[in-house]
A and B are shown apart, each in its own frame.
Chain A
Amino acid sequence: MALLLNNEDVRNLLDMESCVAALEEAYRDLGENQAVNRPKTYIVVPEGQDLSYSYCTMEGASRRLGVVAIRMKSDMNRYVEAFGTGRHEKWASRPGLFCGLVLLFSSRDGELLAVVNDGLIQQMRVGATSGVAAKYLAREDASVLGMIGSGGQARSHARAFAAVRKLKRIKIYSPNPERRAAYAREMAEALGLEVVAVESAKAAVEGADIVATCTNSIEPVIRGEQLCRGTHATSVNANHELDDDFFKHVDVTVRHQILDTKRYTAGSHEEIERAPKAIRKRRVDTPAALPTLPDLLLGKTPGRTQPDQITYFNNNEGTGLQFAVCGALAYQRAKEKGIGRELPNEWFLQDIRD
């Protein structure tokens, strides 16, 4: 039986500690060539002046776990001008709904194991990856987290850092006072920590041992000069969240992976020119030879060598392997606990060979 797992199921199945541990092993596998990824690709179909359809996939396999996962997002995209800046709206079916799925297959016998709504697993794998990096790059005694952002990734990242360091305090800033207050209440209870909403990004960064930017901002939200000596910083949106001089202040930079995303767009040259453009990305300074997370885990790059160094992890883009690893964990636990909707295997198997 294949299992259909929704986000509520995933919430009951996955904990951050296990995701961090599973991904740590997976990145070692990747570094040792026991795992593999296909980089993300987009198919883009312009639908009009301000509307386009996009289909995004990535996939990865872990030989040790015997699984391969493909993650597929199907979205309508609209770029709207709001408050003087561009904003990206997306949905599937109708606003407020999204179509993102992970298909998990067994690489031992080819069977489809699970169909997973990807919303929560997506948040957890990004946070857990930053957690793995922080385990190696943050100071052992790091206890104060400065968080910029109050959405799903900000929650996931706080859990991930709490899983790898003994946090005592979180300072959270996001532009909306209600949202940062809600984040503070929720995370204080979830993590049993002091969580304080602060009035500015600068206040959140001040005195923080770990700093994370988890925003969809298109303007820099922190400045390199604001970081204290000894801080470890992480961002999920480096091209926008960091100021131009950020890297002058950083001693050690590690990135998640080497970016290799490809786009395939339908339509004549004229149509493509007319279609909505993604908000122009400012490329941050990312030297080609930057080490990756597997390099760090396997000791191919030293990482932090002094307590007063400023370290930085660029969680630049997702991989299929993250979904394979977290998906396999959710699947295994769902089987044990009897969670999820069973779908007949016959639906996905056939007797015609190609």
Chain B
Amino acid sequence: MTLLLNNAEMAQLISMRECVDILEEAYREHGFGRAAHRRRSNITVPLGEGKTYVFANFEGTVIKSGYHAIRLRSDVNEWLPEGGGRTTKWASRPGLFCGLALLYNIHTGELEGILNDGYLQVMRVGATSAVAGKYLSREDAAAVGIIGAGNQARSHAEAMCAIRPIRKIRVTSLRRESRAAFAREMEPKLKVEIAPVDSAEEAFAGSDIVCLCTDSSEPFVRPEWIEPGMFVASSRPFGEVGREALAFFDIAVAHERGFTPQLKPAESARKYSDAPGVRENKDEKLLPSNTLAELCAGKISGRTRPGQRCYFANNEGHGIQFSAAGAFVLRRAREMRIGRELPTEWFLQDITT
């Protein structure tokens, strides 16, 4: 049977702490060459009227997990009316998104799982920053600063609480009401004090760990904000941390290196050069040269002294995340009899390809 799992079901199947442990092992396996993955590729189709369709996918196998995963996104991207280079996205209609992870058994070739990817997607980004945090933040880290108050801010707050004895979180975001909502919602959930603050600088000040969870396309982190002993994780490394700030860290690690292939119909990309995502140009010089897999496999060293400033660039998604965490939720779903069973015959055929 092929299992179809939605986000509500997924939420019952994996905790943040489990996700961090699973991903740490996955990156270690990757570091030792026991995984394979293909970087994300985007097919970008400008639609006119300030809209761009993006089809993105990446894939990977951690041999130990027994599953190959491909993660697919199909969304229309639109500029937000208020400007400022920010976009919204949707599939079918505003408020809905199309993201799937498909899981294949590498010992039989069968498609065993079709997962809505939203829950796992949000969790694995925070969990990945936390894996890096285990090597790059101080063990006694107690204060977290968070820039941004969306899904990723929530995921990162939870992830950092899973790895360090966090007592206080300061959160800032563009809109006052969103950071207040963040505090209201996350304080009882994480059982730590959460204080909304008015600026990024205030969120940085005195924090042991800072999580950058914005959709900013312009660098905003000032070098003088980065204090000795601080660990900074950015989930948008081509936007949040510029060249100037990057030079300020003693240890810097990237999630993965290598460019995302950007595939666009050239003619319409010229015609609609201002459409979302069409002019996107990532400068890989902004990425540290060491990777998380090397860190987890012990091929490079993490923090060795309390005073070091450490940085993790959590760039892009990674297929091995969905291979390892997807395999885990699939197994647990079968144990707990959660999910909708679809006939595997639907996805098999007798014509060779």
Contacts and interface: CB of A to CB of B under 8 A. Distances in A.
Contacts, number: 239
Contact of B108 (A32, A76, A111, A351): A76
B243 interface: no
B268 A38 contact: no
Given A7-B351, A345-B92, 15 more contacts: A33-B269, A59-B57, A61-B55, A61-B265, A97-B350, A98-B350, A99-B349, A103-B72, A105-B98, A117-B349, A119-B353, A266-B33, A351-B95, A351-B97, A354-B121
B185 to A, nearest CB: 15
B68 A59 contact: no
Given A68-B74, A98-B348, A266-B35, A122 B106 contact: no
A145 B110 CA distance: 39
A45 B263 contact: no
A74 B352 CA distance: 11
B314 to A, nearest CB: 13
A100 B35 contact: no
A111 B121 contact: no
Contacts of B107: 47, 53, 76
Contacts of B352: 90, 98, 119, 152
A101 B72 CA distance: 14
Interface string B49-76: 0000101010111010000101011111
13 contacts: A6-B349, A53-B106, A70-B55, A115-B346, A117-B349, A118-B353, A264-B36, A347-B340, A349-B96, A349-B116, A351-B118, A352-B116, A354-B122
Contacts of A351: 7, 95-97, 118
Contacts of A68: 43, 45, 53, 55, 74
A152 B98 CA distance: 35
Contact of A122 (B41, B111, B353): B353
B68 A99 contact: no
A176 interface: no
Given A109-B91, A110-B98, A53 B68 contact: yes
B109 A74 contact: yes
A44 B37 CA distance: 9
Nearest to B95: A351
Interface string A34-46: 1111100101110
Contact of A123 (B59, B104, B108, B351): B351
A112 B98 contact: yes
Contact of A45 (B4, B61, B349): B61
A281 interface: no
A63 interface: yes
B234 to A, nearest CB: 16
A350 B352 CA distance: 33
B264 A108 contact: no
Interface in B95-132: 95-100, 102, 104, 106-111, 114, 116-119, 121-122, 125
A264 B37 contact: yes
A99 B4 contact: no
B100 A348 contact: yes
Contacts of B111: 74, 99, 101
Nearest to B89: A353
B151 interface: yes
A110 B76 CA distance: 6
A74 B110 contact: yes
Nearest to A268: B33
Contacts of B36: 43-45, 264-267
B331 to A, nearest CB: 18
Contacts of B89: 353
B6 interface: yes
A96 interface: yes
A38 B35 contact: no
Contact of B91 (A92, A111, A117, A262): A111
A38 B38 contact: no
Nearest to B36: A266
B340 to A, nearest CB: 8
B90 interface: yes
Given A47-B107, A93-B108, A108-B47, A354 B59 contact: no
B247 interface: no
A91 B109 contact: yes
B348 A97 contact: yes
